[in-house]
Amino acid sequence: MIACTPAVSWPNWRVLALAVGVQVPCQMLLSVVAVAVHHMKEAGAPAAALWIVAFATGSLPLIFFKPAVDRALSDELLADAQLGLFFGATAFSFSFFRTIEAAWGTSPDGSRRNLQTWVQYFTAPVDPRYHEGKVMVPAPGTLMRTAARIPARMIALGAILSVGTPRSEDPMGPTPLSLAALKLMPAWLAFLVVNHIYSVGLWLFLALCFDLGALTLLVQGVDVTDSFNNPVFGAKSPKEFWGKRWNKQVNALLRRVCFLPLAPRVGLTAAALATFATSAAFHEYQFALTFRQYTPGAVGLFFVINGALCVGQTVVEKLTGRYCPNVRVGYAALVPEALKVLMNILVLTPFGHLFMHIWLQHGMIETISRIVPTLDCAFVNATVAGKK
């Protein structure tokens, strides 16, 4: 029997303030870079010069910012600033990618209309939407709907983290979620269930971040792209999950930076693999800036495996299309959509811990739990407690 003594923990505003505080100097610096890139592009600078600017911009945090933070912040302060470091790393990554887009000539049509639209695009946390070379105006009610989603996402994320955050000083210690799962089901099934619930939590967290970023553009009358399309409960294959539903913001950047320029040169499969490799490098950069003593290659392995799954799906589709067309047609027509979603979950879920364990190990889950309302539930084995 498990007893629970609940206590509500409200968002820690110091963590949120530090997250915003880190973004201010980042945006100021990146605005200067945006102006420089725009003038270089207008002056007809060679693509090689823009590549140099991209790598110089991306190197700044690694060379100067990261060492300064490691020296100045204690472990306790770093825990408070971790979310801000994550946002800052993401901002520099996006600016790196957008500079490469300028070098390739693959930036969205409306982004280079003038200096103002370029700086807005270059520093935006979410891609603005364009139509016929002009910034689109959001539909009526978009701002209010986006604002209303934020508290809903915070409550849902808080519910997951209430049971998914370790209750000991050990960041890799047991959680109420893992303990309850092990009591209710076999270990292998508990492993899959816990991985799946964490994937839902990750989705909610990233969607919350993009909604907050979207608000900064919507209040200016600029429409934005949708960042997610029900990836966890809507995707029916690994390719659909990664290509059409999960983190469409980063997916669009990688498509313009890597896939579109490379596909005509090396073919679709090689371009897709290169895109996953670029995604792995992006996350390696992000994690190296966010986490102290991060082990290089840890998150890259997760993306290499998922890239292999997508390539494997392509191979199976080609083989069945050539040798067993009836099987492919029958699968598409006869297998229920819900079963396809479940099968995709079973394919992807076993590898989720490769990503989430990094966040657990470095305290990112604990940091995120401090920006949403959570229910701190002291789970105690009542039988054992009664014997003491």
Residue 292: what pLDDT?
Answer: 84
Residue by residue, DSSP assigns 280-311 as: HHHHHHHHHHHSTT--TTHHHHHHHHHHHHHH
Alpha-carbon dihedral of residues 322, 328, 329, 332, nearest 10 degrees? -150
**CA–CA separation, 303 vs 348, rounded Å?**
11
**CA–CA separation, 189 vs 182, rounded Å?**
9
Residue 5: what pLDDT?
Answer: 61
Residue from 236, 261, 242 nearest 310 by CA: 242
Residue 387: what pLDDT?
Answer: 36
- Is residue 385 scored above 80 in pLDDT? no
* Residues 161-203 pLDDT 10s: 998 888 766 667 778 888 888 888 999 999 999 999 999 999 9
* 5, burial (CB in 10 Å: exposed 0-12, middle 13-18, buried 19+): exposed
- Is residue 384 scored above 60 in pLDDT? no
Residue 245: what pLDDT?
Answer: 96
Alpha-carbon dihedral of residues 59, 63, 69, 72, nearest 10 degrees? -160
* Residues 277-298 pLDDT 10s: 999 999 999 999 999 889 999 9
**CA–CA separation, 298 vs 358, rounded Å?**
8
Residues 6+ apart with CB under 8 A from 64: none
The mean pLDDT value for 126-130 works out to 95
pLDDT band at 80 (very low <50, low <70, confident <90, very high): confident
**CA–CA separation, 214 vs 127, rounded Å?**
9
Alpha helices in the chain (DSSP H): 13-42, 47-60, 66-72, 75-104, 115-122, 142-164, 176-184, 187-218, 231-234, 238-240, 248-254, 260-266, 268-290, 298-323, 325-334, 337-348, 353-361, 364-369, 382-387
Mean pLDDT of the chain: 89
| Pairing verdict, β 130-131 and 134-135 | antiparallel
Residue 388: what pLDDT?
Answer: 37
Most confident of 24-38, 267-281, 330-344: 24-38
Residue 108: what pLDDT?
Answer: 94
